Amino acid sequence: MAYLFTSESVSEGHPDKVADQISDALLDNFLAFDPESKVACETLVTTGQVVLAGEVKSNTYLDVQTIARDVINKIGYTKGAYQFSGDSCGVISLIHEQSQDINQGVDREKKEEQGAGDQGMMFGYATKETENYMPLALDISHKIMYELAALRREEDEIKYLRPDSKSQVTIEYSDDNIPQKIVTIVVSTQHDDFDEDDKVMLKKIENDVKKILIPRVKKQFPEHVQKLFNDDITYHINPTGKFVIGGPHGDTGLTGRKIIVDTYGGKGAHGGGAFSGKDPSKVDRSAAYAARHIAKNLVAAGVADEILVQVSYAIGVIEPTSILVNTYNSKNVNLTDGEIAKEVAKIFDMRPAAIEKRLKLREPIYSETAAYGHMGRTPQTINKTFESPYNGKVEKEVELFTWEKLEYVDKVKKAFNI
């Protein structure tokens, strides 16, 4: 019997994502001026206020207020009518030094003997369902949000958009897990106050989403996915009515509260640890990236059509306590999932320091991850500039989304005789 699966995404202007982006901007600045910084920054945003908290061990000092304000303005919160603006909000910093009890388990005389920054389990997932090896419902949801933000910045076809928005996509699957059609699309977008009455306003927003936004999203997909967009889709567009009050004024935002949006949209599994604001010594982040890297390379190499990788750690311990592989009965090799996991452990060094080195995680690469998902993105090399009243100016060439690279496919094929 056919079944339905749903994933959601949120925009860069969603209050939780505002918090994530501020936390990751702080992390990037610490790493730009001191690559060995140990950082765990949490952010709270609400009406007219930003609160920064967390623990840091670094040789640099930052103007955290300016960094936070720049992020808020870049997102688009620049008007007094939003009740939250980068130029006028208060910024309170409660950041303090990292506990020595934690640090002694992480820092070692030899870098390669670095212990895990915390205990816990992390997951990576990949599927042949899309070209970027991500679940389709989440991929569509992310693209809806990304294109809506692009339309807001263009101020051409749609001029009334504000930064806060959410999307949700439901897809019908066949018994053999093949997408059949898109059943429901939900889009809630913050907007300016209209002079017209509410019914006229809602009708215009609904028409613009269906006639302008969705076609822009649809054409980004290959033909077989475009066919899933059909005339029978049920749309819920701003289903509660007006959405003028939004962003941190409408809802308080916190770092790390959109971990399913950040990963696989409910597919696979999640260990519960957030990413944003954490330097790569925190395996919540680095090992989750490494597990995605493994899963994606295994699926791309043809080991299985769908793979979940779990890795776990004990704080201060170098080697992972376990590595698990689940192929969901989709494997294309004559090995058990346990045997596949043993081969994975031989191919991929999962010690924390090895992960940092392999994926180049001690670089200021994290601001770009903090909206529209950490996984399924396109690896690229860019130049970034950081300026500080205390440290001057530094320019960095950095490689983004290294965990999405497929440079291990040949090694995997060789190991599994594919």
Which residues make up each annotated binding site for L-methionine?
Answer: 55, 98, 251, 282
Nearest to 189 by CA among 217, 159, 224: 159
Under 8 Å between Cβ of 270 and 120: no
Locate 15 and state its tokens. Answer: 């209050």
Which residues make up each annotated binding site?
Answer: 14, 16, 42, 55, 98, 164-166, 242-243, 251, 257-258, 274, 278, 282
Nearest to 230 by CA among 189, 187, 184: 184
Amino acid at 121: M
Which residues make up each annotated binding site for Mg(2+)?
Answer: 16
Rounded distance between C-alpha atoms, residue 285 and residue 280, angstroms: 6
Rounded distance between C-alpha atoms, residue 107 and residue 111, angstroms: 7
- What dihedral do alpha carbons 397, 143, 190, 214 form, nearest 10°? 140
Nearest to 31 by CA among 374, 261, 254, 280: 280
Nearest to 89 by CA among 149, 46, 119: 46
Q: Which residues of 112-146 are buried (b: 16+ CB within 10 A; e: fewer)?
A: eebbbbbebbbbbbbbebbeebbbbbbbbbbbbbb
Rounded distance between C-alpha atoms, residue 127 and residue 347, angstroms: 20
Nearest to 188 by CA among 374, 14, 370: 14
Please tell me the number of Cα atoms within 13 Å of 52 on its side-chain side: 28
Which residues make up each annotated binding site for K(+)?
Answer: 42
DSSP conformation letters of 394-411: EEEEEEE-GGG--TTHHH
H-type helices in 14-121, by residue range? Answer: 15-33, 64-75, 100-106
**Local structure of 140: helix, strand or coil:** helix
Which residues make up each annotated binding site for ATP?
Answer: 14, 164-166, 242-243, 251, 257-258, 274, 278
**Local structure of 65: helix, strand or coil:** helix
Cα Rg of the chain, angstroms: 22
Nearest to 279 by CA among 142, 102, 92, 44: 102
